[in-house]
Chain A
Amino acid sequence: MKRRGPRLAGLPLLPAAILVAATLYSSTGQSFKHVAIGDTLKNPTLPTLDGKQATLLRADRKVSVFMFLRPDQEYSKYVLDEMARCEHEFEGKSVAWVAIVSDYYPKTVVQPLVDEAGFKSPVLIDAGDTLYGDLGVILQPVVGIADGKLKLVAYQPFAKVNFCNVIRARILFQLGEISQAELDRAINPPKAELGGENEVAQRNLRFAEMMYKSKKYDVASERLQKCLEHDPKHAPCHALLGAIAADQGQCDVAKPALQKALELDPANQVALEAKKRCP
């Protein structure tokens, strides 16, 4: 392959076959092209940016995180910054990190970005994009996560939204610190919205409670009626409505309201107390 850019001097060529390529091609793009989730990765030793050598994965760690980056690309810069933050967060835990860059990029370009991000773990130099080709990388930046048995457990191409939240959750899941449900929630967060009718009912109840304390029974009752318009099965609103009537000696009004409240919530304290005043 003809190379346009400068190469890192003195880097040994990598063996041609580094990884066990999976035979399954994921047409939905949910993994690397040649390695699927659950496949065991080979673990090549590559030269590093600081002139040493390091392996892609660490069998002595519960989790190995590796990311393919391109230093001239905004999203890669973002991912490196965020992964440096994650690296710091997970300090002391059984997590190993590496970044992988093509030898197309000179050290003078890569090093400042690594320093600026504060990424401390090895930056592997992928001579001739061999590792890139063996895994079948399609997108960059991309993060792969392997477990202690060197199995690929997660593949995460860059996303503009919630990328780091998901990576963090995937690592925590592998460490056994969060459940599958919590991981699913990070990958597909629930809608952030208010509770609709129940929310309005609850808000009216809170205001009614304040009015009740100030003995403004009319305003409180008005609010409780509104509460029940929005949520007819709101036990606390029935209960307070009954309590207000009981306080005013209107047991004929209080009794049905208290009865309804206790049907919905037999342990409702407001209703139980008020019932003593209107037995």
Chain B
Amino acid sequence: MSQRGKLGNQAEVFAQQLSDTINSVIDGKHELMLQAVQGRYVLEPKRRADGEKMPCLDLHLPESTKRIGRLQFRYEMTLDHQHEYLKVVLSNFAIRAEADGTALIRLDYEPINMQGTRAPVSHWQIQAHHNALANWLTLAHATQRRSGNQSGRVDKIHLAVGGERFRPCMEDLLHLLVTDLGVATKNGHMRAIQEGRARWRELQLRSAVRDNPAIAAEVLANCGYDVTPVEPKASRPDKHTHY
């Protein structure tokens, strides 16, 4: 099978697993759309009608049919640096208000080469307001232009979470929706969240090992394994230094 064919399979498997998790957790039937062009993939909720502003999944509270909010997400995926594995190069998640679509809570992962130097590669942003924090942000901006912001907007703060390898996953957001925001779920939802999270962390662990095989070998040796380098690949310590 060609490299592109293998990548396509990996993208489809990823999409399938994500769809299974979402459909096992959030009440209702949720459809996803996987767009492809020459080894590049975008995965997001399927737009239900041409007029729909933002493709999102419906969220409602138990025993209510009225939508209380929406879950929007988007993954951009291609091959990793070794041209072997599917790599998520960008992901955006947002829990949006029903009334006007405002992103109340966002979890974004953006490649280091895409953003300015301010925001961490993986971060939460929260729509909130407190006068003390708003004042602080405006004063900080007045003192140093790269700090704070003129409008005192708290949602412009980027809360760093684990960088490229140890960032939260969709399952963490689903967990938040279930436990803190009380959305309607399906039976067995927590098991689906845990299984999905375990899959994600295993993938990230594999990537972390590939980033620094020498450390992985050292730890394995400490665990009683006999690790002999044959054709060791170079470390990529930069993956663990980004904000």
Whether chains A and B associate is no
Write the residues of chain B forming the contact surface with A, with a CB cutoff of 8 angstroms. none
Write the residues of chain A forming the contact surface with B, with a CB cutoff of 8 angstroms. none
